[in-house]
Structure 1
Amino acid sequence: MMQHAHAPVQAAAAPPCPPHGQNRISTNNRFIPVCPRSDQEIGTTASRRTRRGDFLRAATWAITHRLHPKAGDTTLRVARDLAARLNADGHVAYCRDTMWRRLGISRRTLERHIAVLRELGLLVWAVHGTRTNTRPAGSGEWAGTATIYAAVVPRAWDDSLGHRVRGHGYHARHVGFTDHGRQLAIADARRRARPSRRRDTPSCKTNHPRPTAEMRGKKNNTSAPRGARPQSRSQHDVPEPYRATPDQAAHAVSVAAWVRPRVPWTQGEGLRRLAFALRPWIAAGLSAADLAADLSAWRVPRRPASPASVIMARWNETASSDEPAAAPDSGEGTPEGVPPNAAFLAAMDTVRARLTSLSPPVEPEPDPPGFVIRDRILASLAEADRTRRARTAEQCVTFAEWEAVCDARERVPW
C-alpha cells in the first residue's frame, strides 16, 4: 500500500482543472489542490475571503483531513503566525526574513509551507513583492516592495460544514447554513460554551484563612465578625473645591469652551478635564475673560503634557499660600488690626473711580459664526495668492521662483 493512499488528495484519474471561480472539488468529491500559480491570485481564486477565526479553522480542517501530502504541524504553525498578524481586511505582510527566524525553521522550509497553504486554497497573492528600489535615486538607501497575502477559505471547507455561500471567487459571502450545517454549528457552539473541567493537583490547592463565625446564644444563625465585612467606600471622592452641581458643571464646561481656543497651551487638553480643573477658579468669581487673561500670563511650557494638572497644581499652591500660618498658643490674646476709617475708604473709592474712567471694563466680544470665520480665511488666502502672483522678477530670489509666478499667472482664469 502506498504511503498516502488513504488520504483524499488525488483521484486515480485526475479530472481536468475547472475554470476560474468554480468549485475546487472533483466529480468523486475529492479536493483538488490549486497548483497553477495563475489561480492563486486575489482576482482568479475560487476561494472566498475570510478573517482570522475561519482561516485557522479551515487550515486545521485541511491539515487534519490530509488534503495535501506535504501539509503537517509546521504548516499549521505557519498558518497561526500569519493569522496572528492579519489586519481588518484579512491581509498580512509576508515578512519572510523575520518569519523563518521567529518560527525556528529554515527559509526554504518556510517557502515550501507557504506554497502548501496556497495550493490548499488558504492563501492568495494580494501584492507581489519585488526587489525594485522604492527610495529616491541617489539617496543611498534601498527598500523593496513587500509581498502581501490575503487569507481565504476553499469552497470544499464551506461544503463540508454546510455553509451556504453567495457569489463566486474572492468576494463571495457566507449567507447561511444548510440543515446539516446548522446542526454542526449548534454542536460546535455548545462545545465552545461548555466550561472546561480543571482539576488542580493537591500541591496547587491553598487553604485560605476564613473568618470565624460568632455564636450568639442558642440561635442557629451566625454572622461573620465585623472586621471581615468589606467597608463600603465611595467610588467618587471629589475634593471640596472641585465639587459642583450639574448646573455648575455645565457652566464650567461652557467657560472652558470659551477659554481653550484663546489660551494656546490649554488647547491640547480635553474640554471636560479643563472644565474640572477650572471649577475652583470659577467658584472664586472669575469670569471667562479673567481666566483667559490670567492663564495667558502664566509661565508654562509651550505644550505641557497635562494642562489640567498644571492648573490644579497652581490652585493648590495658591490655596496653601492663602492659609494663615498657625500661631503658637499663648496666654495673651492675639491683637487684631484696626478697621479703616472713613477718610481711607473715601480715598479708595476715588482711586477706583479714576481707574474706571481711564480704562473702562470691556465686555468680551461674542464669537463670530462659523461661516464668517470661513469667509475671512478664504479672503485672506485669496489676497495672499494675488500678492504672490503680482510679484515682479526683481522681487523673486531665484529663477525657478519667477517661473512659478509666471505659470500661476497663466493658470488664472480671465
Structure 2
Amino acid sequence: MMQHARAPVHAAAAPPRLPRGQHRISTNNRYILVRDHADQEIGTTASRRTRRGDFLRAATWAITQRLHPKAGNTTLRVARDLAARLNADGHVAYCRDTTYKRLGISRRTLERHIAILRELGLLVWAVHGSRTNTRPAGSGEWAGTATIYAAVVPRAWDDAVGHRVRGHGYHARHVGFTEHGRQLAITEARRRTRPSRRRDTPSCKTNHPRPTAEMRGRKNNTSAPHGARPRPRRRHEVPEPYRASPSQAAHAVSVAAWIRPRVPWTQGEGLRRLAFALRPWIATGLSAADLAADLSVWRVPRRPTSPASMIMARWSETTGHDEPDADPCRGEDTPCGVPPNAAFREAMDAVRARLTRLSPPVEPEPDPPGFVIRDRILASLAEADRARRTRTAEQCLTFAEWEAVCDARERAPW
C-alpha cells in the first residue's frame, strides 16, 4: 500500500450552519438561500409547514422581491401546479414525468425550478424518491418510490407580513399578528371582499312608468292601484291519482315504512317520496303485503337512482295499457281492415322458411358448473387486486392512497 493512501485531507473549513428555526437574513439585510440539501428536509428546515393559500402568497412574495436571481414566471407556474395538488397535510407528489408535460416545459427546466423553490425555503423533502423496485421479486415488473414534497414558508416571509410564529422549524405555528401585520391583513381582507364595480350601458337601463297612488281626501296612506298588486303564486297542482287527504297520506307513509325494509331496491329512496309514488297503488285496494310481493318480482336495476320515479313510470304504463283503444271502424268514412287471404299466408310461410334456412336457431349453451363459475370469480378478483397493487404514484389521487398501495406491496407474498 502506498504511503499517502491514508494521509489526511486538509479541506477548507465549512461555513457554520444556521441553527434550526433561525432567521435566514444576513447582517446586510439580504436573504440567504438554502443551498445545502441537508437543510431541505422536514427535520432540518427552518421554514414552517403551511397550506395552499400561504404557500402561493409566499411564493409570489419571494419571486417579486427577487430573492433568487433565477426565479421568474415559470417558477410561479410550477408553484401553482404543486399548490393545486396539495393534500390536507400540505404534501404533494412530485410526478415529474407528467408535470413537465402538463406545464409545457422540458424536464430539465422543471427540475431547475423545483430546486429554486427548495432554495427559497418553500419546498422540503418529505419522502425521497428511489429507483429501488417495490414490486415482488420474480413478478417481472418494476416500480420505484415517488418523491413527496412538503409545502413550507420561510421565516423571512412571516416577518415581512407581520406574522407572530411560535416554535422553530417545520412544526412552528402561526399564532397571531403584529401591529403592522394586522393592518396588512385587514387591507387584504377588504381587497378580497370588495365588490366589483359593474357599469351598465344606457341601453340596459329601463325607466318603466310607475303607477301613482290615488289621493282620496287628505290622507296619504292610500293603497296602490288595483293592477299594481302582485298576484298570488299558484301552488303546484298534484295529479289526480296522487291526491290524498291527510289521513290517506299518513296511511301511505305507514305502508311505505312497511314495504321499504322488505324490498331491497326501494331502500335507497326517502320514505315520503316512496309513499307519494305508492298512493295510486294503495288507492286500488292493494295491501302492503301485496304491494311488497309485486315490487319484489319487478325487473329493475339492483340500485336504481330513483325508485319512486320508476314506480310512478310503471303506474303510467299500466294505466295507459288498461285504457281501451279507440275502434277505428266506428266512423263511417274509415274503412275496416280485412283478414289476410290464402295467397298472403303462403307468401309469409315461404319467407319464414327461407329465414330459418339462412339463420337456423341456435341452441342455448348449457350453464357452466359451479366450480367453473367460482374459478372465474376468483381469477377476476385476483386480477383486480393485482391491478390495484401495480398502480403508480401518478395514478393515485391522494398521498394516502399511494401509501396504501405501498403497504399492500410490502404485505404481498413473494
User: Which bracket does the TM-score occupy, shorter chain normalised?
Assistant: 0.5 to 0.7
Deviation string, structure 1 residues 157-179 (Cα, Å, up to 9, x no partner): 11111111222222222221111
Match of 1:188 in 2: 188
Amino acid at match of 1:288: A
Amino acid at match of 2:69: P
Q: Distance in 1 between matches of 2:242 and 2:100?
A: 57
In 2 relative to 1, CA 198–280 (structure 1 residues): closer, same or farther, beyond 3 Å?
Answer: same
Which aligned pairs between 1:213-224 and structure 2 lie closer than 5 A?
Answer: 213=209
Match of 2:383 in 1: none
Q: Distance in 1 between matches of 2:181 and 2:90?
A: 24
What TM-score, normalized by structure 1, do the two folds share? 0.63
User: Quick check: 79-88 or 153-162, which moved more?
Assistant: 79-88
Which aligned pairs between 1:191-230 and structure 2 lie closer than 5 A?
Answer: 191-197=191-197, 207=203, 213=209
Match of 1:165 in 2: 165
Amino acid at match of 1:298: W
- RMSD of aligned C-alpha atoms? 3.9
Which aligned pairs between 1:279-318 and structure 2 lie closer than 5 A?
Answer: 279-318=279-318
Match of 2:278 in 1: 278
Aligned partners of 1:15 and 1:26 also within 8 Å = no
Deviation string, structure 1 residues 321-372 (Cα, Å, up to 9, x no partner): 45566799x9xxxxxxxxxxxxxxxxxxxxxxxxxxxxxxxxxxxxxxxxxx
In 2 relative to 1, CA 199–139 (structure 1 residues): closer, same or farther, beyond 3 Å?
Answer: farther
Amino acid at match of 1:311: I
Match of 1:393 in 2: none
Deviation string, structure 1 residues 120-144 (Cα, Å, up to 9, x no partner): 1111222222223334444444333
Match of 1:154 in 2: 154
Q: Distance in 1 between matches of 2:252 and 2:37?
A: 65
In 2 relative to 1, CA 267–155 (structure 1 residues): closer, same or farther, beyond 3 Å?
Answer: same
Aligned partners of 2:256 and 2:271 also within 8 Å = yes
Q: Distance in 2 between matches of 1:265 and 1:246?
A: 27
What TM-score, normalized by structure 2, do the two folds share? 0.63
Amino acid at match of 2:31: F
Amino acid at match of 2:83: A
Match of 2:125 in 1: 125
User: Quick check: 296-305 or 53-62, which moved more?
Assistant: 296-305
Which aligned pairs between 1:313-328 and structure 2 lie closer than 5 A?
Answer: 313-322=313-322
Q: In the alignment, is residue 81 of structure 1 matched against residue 77 of structure 2? A: no
Q: Distance in 1 between matches of 2:165 and 2:87?
A: 23
Amino acid at match of 2:203: N
Aligned residues: 309
Aligned partners of 2:41 and 2:126 also within 8 Å = yes
Q: Distance in 2 between matches of 1:186 and 1:17?
A: 37
Aligned partners of 1:15 and 1:27 also within 8 Å = no
Deviation string, structure 1 residues 99-158 (Cα, Å, up to 9, x no partner): 112212111111011011111111122222222333444444433322222211111111
Amino acid at match of 2:78: V
Match of 1:30 in 2: 30
Deviation for aligned residue 1:80:
1.1
Deviation for aligned residue 1:317:
2.2
Q: Distance in 1 between matches of 2:94 and 2:230?
A: 54
Deviation for aligned residue 1:294:
1.6
Match of 1:177 in 2: 177
In 2 relative to 1, CA 285–48 (structure 1 residues): closer, same or farther, beyond 3 Å?
Answer: farther
Amino acid at match of 2:291: L
Structure 1 residue matching 2:313: 3-state secondary structure:
helix
Amino acid at match of 2:101: R
Unaligned runs of 5+ in 2: 1-13, 216-223, 331-414
Q: Distance in 2 between matches of 1:229 and 1:94?
A: 64
Deviation for aligned residue 1:295:
0.8
Identity %: 81
Which structure exhibits the higher relative contact order, with contacts defined as CA atoms closer than 8 Å and separated by 6 or more residues? 2
Deviation for aligned residue 1:284:
4.5
